[in-house]
Amino acid sequence: NQAYLSDKTKPCPRCKALTEKNQGCNHITCIKCKCGWCWICGQDIGNATIPEHFSDPNSPCQNKQ
């Protein structure tokens, strides 16, 4: 239902496909368009194994992978 989707999913920043995170790290890969993005801030961060986004001192998501 709509309440569940609003509470438990976030849209991919590139294709807007809804994604549910039920475990694991905050680096998400969209199953539809393969965009690598951050679950915390929703930014497209690429698909490196450990994106610089999580080590960048200017990122609000530093050390939160």
The pLDDT tens digits of the residues spanning 32-57 come to 999 999 999 999 999 988 899 999 99
Q: Out of 15, 25, 41, 61, which one is annotated catalytic?
A: 25
pLDDT at 6: 87
Distance (Å, whole) CA 15 – CA 11: 8
Instruction: Output the six-digit token pair for 61.
Output: 């998501």
Q: What is the mean predicted confidence (pLDDT) over 2-18? A: 93
pLDDT at 26: 94
Backbone angles phi and psi of 10, in degrees to 5:
-135, 150
Q: Please give the model's pTM, rounded to 2 decimal places.
A: 0.87
pLDDT at residue 1 is higher than 90: no
Q: Tell me which amino acid residue 49 is.
A: T
pLDDT at 32: 96
> Active-site residue 25, yes or no?
yes
Distance (Å, whole) CA 53 – CA 7: 25
Instruction: Output the six-digit token pair for 41.
Output: 């801030």
